[in-house]
Amino acid sequence: TAKQIYSAHAAVLARKWPAVLASASEAQRKCWSAIHTGVWSGVNDAWRAAYMASCFYVALARTNGAAPEETSPVDTLRAALRNLDLGIMIGSLEYRAELLRLASSLEERLEAVVELNPGCSTSTSDDDGLPAAKNLDMSTGGDAKVRQRNGGDVWRLTRPSLPFFYNECMQPAQPAVLLGVIDGWPASQRWSA
């Protein structure tokens, strides 16, 4: 796996984006298997760091021309953001700032693409068929908020992006009810024997 990550890094330096995507995707698959085999706490942190690095390189490659040609710019950016989200959630803490920085940059690009070409993609879902992460339910209506014991309100958010959740909920210690965040996780499905 280290070999694929080093290959992806060398390809980034040479700006060979299809090679970056191929190497990083292979590393990502191997890391995913290692992370999801056995007990969660028994996984070596090196696998999590490698997974995070491979997610970073996959997102970088997709947004620099290695995505399939038939993919719209909006879908390309959403797929890259999904990779970064997975890297942030499942990866180690080592390179979290770099992934958050790239995710923030890609979210700005996505907003600009949608603003410039409002009809370029009418899709409201990611490539996994789930609702897009931008659909936030932050209404102030009666039962849209849950009441805390101390009297404060709790936001109900539907699949918020990680940067949004970190900046708006984690940093200010604002509690939130997260909806739809594990719908696509394999563990939420019945496992076959």
Residue 154 burial (10 A CB sphere; 0-12, 13-18, 19+):
middle
pTM of the model: 0.61
| Domains identified in the chain, total number | 2
The answer, yes or no, to whether residue 31 has pLDDT greater than 50, is yes
Same domain for 95 and 7? yes
* Strand (E) or helix (H) holding 145: none
Same domain? For 82 and 26 the reply is: yes
Q: How far apart are CA 45 and CA 60, in angstroms?
A: 23
- 46 with 99, same domain: the answer is yes
- Residue 71 inside a domain? The answer is yes
Q: Burial code of 33-67, b = ≥16 C-beta within 10 A, e = fewer?
A: ebbeeeeeeebeeebbbbbbbbbbbbbbbbbbebb
Residues 60 and 97 in one domain: yes
The whole domain housing 29 covers 2-116
> Are residue 19 and residue 107 in the same domain, yes or no?
yes
Please work out, in degrees rounded to the nearest 5, the angle formed at the alpha carbon of residue 29 by the alpha carbons of 50 and 98. 35
Asked whether residue 12 falls in the same domain as residue 101, the answer is: yes
41 inside domain: yes
Mean of pLDDT values over 168-191:
79
Q: What is the pLDDT of residue 145?
A: 44
- Considering 60-64, 118-122, 128-132, the range whose residues carry the highest mean pLDDT is 60-64
Residue 169 lies in a domain: yes
Of 87 and 122, the one with more pLDDT: 87
- Is the pLDDT reported for residue 134 higher than 60? no
CA 129/CA 152 separation, integer angstroms = 34
Mean model confidence pLDDT for the chain: 77
> Which pair of structure tokens corresponds to residue 88?
């942030």
* CA torsion angle 158 187 81 7 (round to 10): 170
Same domain, 74 and 157: no
Q: Are residues 20 and 84 in the same domain?
A: yes
Do residues 97 and 147 both lie within one domain? no
Q: Are 125 and 82 in contact (CB under 8 A)?
A: no
Q: What share of the chain is helix, strand, coil (3-state, %, to 5)?
A: 55, 5, 35
User: Is pLDDT at 191 greater than 90 in this prediction?
Assistant: no
Both 39 and 93 in one domain: the answer is yes
Is pLDDT larger for residue 119 or for residue 35? 35
| Domain match, 55 and 109 both | yes
pLDDT digits (tens, 9 = 90+) for 61-79: 988 887 776 678 888 888 8
Residues 87 and 162 in one domain: no
d(C-alpha 110, C-alpha 105), whole Å: 9
User: Is residue 193 situated within a structural domain?
Assistant: no
Q: Has residue 17 been placed in a domain?
A: yes
pLDDT of residue 84: 92
